[in-house]
Chain A
């Protein structure tokens, strides 16, 4: 048997704590810190930000993005993407409106809408996994198709007369607190998603699939089934978001949630989720969503124009990818300089 030194690494120069920290600070943590800083600053310096009503507005408006960001994160981690989420939400809202107009009870309509979301997700998933089409292409197609069906279903109608207790649930908040009712189920879903992604074999499989699909298949992971289930989940949550949207804004129209996919993707990207798959955390994604939402709220309160807000969003996105990169290069360069100083070449033993 070889001696112990061959099994473990030969004792090496330990990098100073700071350098190790530099490597360890991941972007999602940084987004979290950024979010906290922003919140603290806003509470102290921005008029009208800290009151319960504004916070409930903020959360209520961010919820649709946050909701869809949950399954989207899982999907992106597995290496796929779904651009049809906004349309699925729109379709679900449109169907909800049409069925309500047709006289069905809301208790019967909502499950049907969710089922519809499952079907939408299933179509995406089957096209991707069975035909082997790229998800980007498929969901660009279904994005148009679902939106189109919504338009056919509801036409130019705008349905607003849903039962008040549902509308109140959609837009109201718990007592005088800043917590909208809808935040409660969201928190539950968030917890479920965090556990699934970060503490179950399913989550591990998602990461493996995203980072190396072939290797995952060779490890006995049922890659296709996994991806299919992720598409279905995304469809389901999108439909749920569509229902929430219609209730929150008390309006079911075929063009509800148009462009939502871009907001979701921007937020998720900001949270450090890698679109090549296999990297990212849910914490980062949710921090990204909240950061964008809060920033928008604060900028509106401080009378920053819509145009400037767009620029700020863009700059933030660019920084979000450049900053960790630049940070790593700086710390690497520093480490290199240090080792160069430390190394003393041993004299070669020649026989």
Chain B
């Protein structure tokens, strides 16, 4: 059955909206209609203008031209508060929490339940938060401060916040990018309930299967312009990809056959108290090893300790036979190690610096002459990698913070791949990257492995792990619980180990 546009008035509507940032035209005359009780997907490559569109809907940006209509009436949102008051709840692409406030306060900031004389009812806030978490199946202490939450947990708090509004319109910009399957499933369950209660939902994701699982209608953007707005029924993933990128997609997991060589990264009995315990594994040259686990399993923390950003309390790390000191990333880099961190905004990039200089940060050795910066060399190095990774930028001298989320991720990759590492640890390398470029990143990792680089890939995108890894390590609550050869790795096996239901016999030695 086709789903023609309903006859009713859309709850929220965009009409011919354009928005430019200086020379960059992020949106050009885009229209969009959101109906009550319908989930609507927004698709497009990195930098297509999806987040910008959402920010227009949320009152963060004011459109240069065009109008926003609520229940058919034009409205001028003067700020996020206006949109919120109109019943629009938004989950932004980048979590925007208050690190010093408790998780509960984060969720209810500005609209806490009150007692007499307008006083905040702290107990009610806590109770409501606990209920929300219950609904989402989130295991977080409402009283802990938001500082120090992993990206995934932050995203979960954002989701809880958006749900707590009981909004008429729920807008979600890549809410699932950092989540694993189970959390996504929970989230979808809750969203479906809201939808059936009459909420309009706008959903963005680069995981196409999620779009198909949740939405009925899809709008596609390319370079800020509207390409199509149509029912999803009858559309295949390939159709959608073609609309987004204007061509057919190559194989998403282009695994090359490689020669597995000597041990490049050896981790023995590594322990950081309270975070991970007694972790041992090896990664060989030419090998891609996947590291799977649930949110909060400690994968990212392990990667950080290996790279030396965090100290470890016991155990040792060896790169190409060289033993690394604890807490010395510069030594790790010198030994040939690179880490693409998971949080691109805080850890990956200096948001206020230019694209060029961000990429240049890892390459002083190559771009100095007699102790002085060689700007031409710095520029060449940056251009080379920006182009190879298809970063969509206007000028390399522009501040990296103005790039779209996916393009920022590409700059992080560029920054580290430019160091020609021997051992590459990538933590959520394709978080927020569009399907087209994702394949490109996979091809790149694959060809690096073929050239003898050892790759450790942490990802919450299980198909990605299964599609790319020669071997899968699984962590659960700070311990390595399984080591599964790529050929035997299935979703069930990995999930079993990740949830602690693993067959202990297969646990890594």
Chain A residues within CB distance 8 Å of chain B: 2, 5-10, 12-15, 23, 195, 199-201, 203-205, 207-208, 211-212, 214-222, 278-279, 335-336, 339-340, 343-351
User: Nearest 9 pairs between A and B by C-beta?
Assistant: A345-B29, A201-B364, A212-B350, A348-B226, A9-B394, A219-B361, A220-B333, A211-B352, A345-B16
Can you give 19 contacting A-B residue pairs, CB < 8 Å? A7-B391, A9-B23, A12-B394, A199-B372, A200-B368, A200-B372, A201-B371, A203-B373, A211-B351, A212-B351, A217-B329, A218-B348, A219-B361, A278-B350, A343-B25, A343-B28, A343-B29, A346-B28, A348-B229
**Are B351 and A346 in contact, CB atoms less than 8 angstroms apart?**
no
**Are A217 and B309 in contact, CB atoms less than 8 angstroms apart?**
yes
Closest to B361 in A: A219
| Contact mask for chain B residues 323-335; partner A; CB cutoff 8 A; 1 contact, 0 none | 0000001101100
- A212-B353, A216-B361 given; 5 more Cβ-contact pairs under 8 Å: A7-B387, A10-B223, A205-B364, A207-B357, A208-B357
Instruction: Report chain B residues within 8 Å CB of A340.
Output: 64-65
Question: With A2-B436, A349-B226 in contact, is A201–B368 under 8 Å at CB?
Answer: yes
Does B213 sit within 8 A of A, measured CB to CB? no
Does B20 sit within 8 A of A, measured CB to CB? yes
Instruction: Report chain B residues within 8 Å CB of A200.
Output: 368, 371-373
Give the CA-CA distance A348 to B24 in the complex, in Å: 20
Q: How large is the interface on B (under 10, 10 to 19, 20 to 34, 35 or more residues)?
A: 35 or more
Does B31 sit within 8 A of A, measured CB to CB? yes
Question: With A15-B22, A335-B22, A343-B65 in contact, is A218–B228 under 8 Å at CB?
Answer: no
Question: With A220-B333, A221-B361, A339-B64 in contact, is A13–B25 under 8 Å at CB?
Answer: yes
**Are A195 and B64 in contact, CB atoms less than 8 angstroms apart?**
no
Instruction: Report chain B residues within 8 Å CB of A195.
Output: 372
**Are B31 and A348 in contact, CB atoms less than 8 angstroms apart?**
yes
- Considering residues B20, B348, B357, which has the most beta carbons from chain A within 10 angstroms of its beta carbon? B20
The 8 Å CB contact of B361, one of A13, A204, A335, A351, is: A204
A283 to chain B, nearest CB (A): 17
Does B415 sit within 8 A of A, measured CB to CB? yes
**Are B228 and A14 in contact, CB atoms less than 8 angstroms apart?**
no
**Are B330 and A222 in contact, CB atoms less than 8 angstroms apart?**
yes
Question: With A6-B392, A220-B333 in contact, is A211–B353 under 8 Å at CB?
Answer: yes
**Are A215 and B349 in contact, CB atoms less than 8 angstroms apart?**
yes
Closest to A279 in B: B352
Give the CA-CA distance A216 to B348 in the complex, in Å: 8
Interface residues of B in 247-279 (CB under 8 A from A): 247
Does B346 sit within 8 A of A, measured CB to CB? yes
**Are A218 and B309 in contact, CB atoms less than 8 angstroms apart?**
yes
A205 to chain B, nearest CB (A): 8
Does B341 sit within 8 A of A, measured CB to CB? yes
**Are A212 and B352 in contact, CB atoms less than 8 angstroms apart?**
yes
Closest to B340 in A: A218
B40 to chain A, nearest CB (A): 14
A97 to chain B, nearest CB (A): 39
Instruction: Report chain B residues within 8 Å CB of A345.
Output: 16, 18, 28-29, 65-66
B422 to chain A, nearest CB (A): 15
Give the CA-CA distance A208 to B348 in the complex, in Å: 12
Closest to B351 in A: A212
The 8 Å CB contact of A218, one of B20, B225, B329, B372, is: B329
**Are A343 and B18 in contact, CB atoms less than 8 angstroms apart?**
yes
Give the CA-CA distance A211 to B354 in the complex, in Å: 11
**Are B24 and A6 in contact, CB atoms less than 8 angstroms apart?**
no
Does B245 sit within 8 A of A, measured CB to CB? yes
Instruction: Report chain A residues within 8 Å CB of B364.
Output: 201, 204-205
**Are A212 and B245 in contact, CB atoms less than 8 angstroms apart?**
no
Give the CA-CA distance A216 to B357 in the complex, in Å: 12
Give the CA-CA distance A208 to B415 in the complex, in Å: 14
Closest to A198 in B: B373
**Are A219 and B368 in contact, CB atoms less than 8 angstroms apart?**
no
Question: With A9-B24, A201-B368 in contact, is A215–B352 under 8 Å at CB?
Answer: no
The 8 Å CB contact of A351, one of B23, B31, B230, is: B230
Does B45 sit within 8 A of A, measured CB to CB? yes
Give the CA-CA distance A185 to B23 in the complex, in Å: 46
Question: With A12-B23, A339-B20 in contact, is A214–B346 under 8 Å at CB?
Answer: yes
**Are A350 and B330 in contact, CB atoms less than 8 angstroms apart?**
no
**Are A7 and B329 in contact, CB atoms less than 8 angstroms apart?**
no
Give the CA-CA distance A37 to B289 in the complex, in Å: 64
B178 to chain A, nearest CB (A): 17
The 8 Å CB contact of A207, one of B226, B353, B362, is: B353
- Considering residues A216, A219, A344, which has the most beta carbons from chain B within 10 angstroms of its beta carbon? A219
Does B339 sit within 8 A of A, measured CB to CB? yes
Question: With A339-B64, A343-B18 in contact, is A215–B227 under 8 Å at CB?
Answer: no
A288 to chain B, nearest CB (A): 21
- Considering residues A2, A23, A220, which has the most beta carbons from chain B within 10 angstroms of its beta carbon? A220
- Considering residues B25, B31, B393, which has the most beta carbons from chain A within 10 angstroms of its beta carbon? B25
Instruction: Report chain B residues within 8 Å CB of A2.
Output: 245-247, 390, 436
B90 to chain A, nearest CB (A): 23
Instruction: Report chain B residues within 8 Å CB of A23.
Output: 22
Instruction: Report chain B residues within 8 Å CB of A351.
Output: 228, 230, 243
**Are B360 and A204 in contact, CB atoms less than 8 angstroms apart?**
yes
**Are A208 and B353 in contact, CB atoms less than 8 angstroms apart?**
yes
Instruction: Report chain B residues within 8 Å CB of A6.
Output: 45, 245, 390, 392
A77 to chain B, nearest CB (A): 12
The 8 Å CB contact of A219, one of B45, B392, B415, is: B415
Closest to B228 in A: A351
Question: With A217-B329, A220-B329, A339-B64 in contact, is A346–B29 under 8 Å at CB?
Answer: yes
Instruction: Report chain B residues within 8 Å CB of A343.
Output: 18, 20, 25, 28-29, 64-65
Does B347 sit within 8 A of A, measured CB to CB? yes
Question: With A216-B361, A343-B18, A345-B29 in contact, is A278–B352 under 8 Å at CB?
Answer: yes
B411 to chain A, nearest CB (A): 11
Give the CA-CA distance A348 to B353 in the complex, in Å: 36
Interface residues of B in 11-50 (CB under 8 A from A): 16, 18, 20, 22-25, 28-31, 45
Closest to B339 in A: A218
**Are A218 and B373 in contact, CB atoms less than 8 angstroms apart?**
no
Give the CA-CA distance A150 to B286 in the complex, in Å: 64
Closest to B332 in A: A220
The 8 Å CB contact of B393, one of A9, A279, A339, is: A9
